Amino acid sequence: MGYCKGDTVTARRQIEGMNTPLVPAGSRGTVVATTLFGRPKRVHFAIADGWGVKRFQMDVRPGDVERS
How far apart, in Å, do the first and last CA atoms of the chain sit?
A: 14
Q: pTM of the full predicted structure?
A: 0.91
Domain spans of the chain, in order of start: 8-67
Per-block mean pLDDT, blocks of 10 residues, the chain (68 long)? 94 93 96 96 95 95 94
Closest CA to 45 of 62, 61, 64, 58: 58
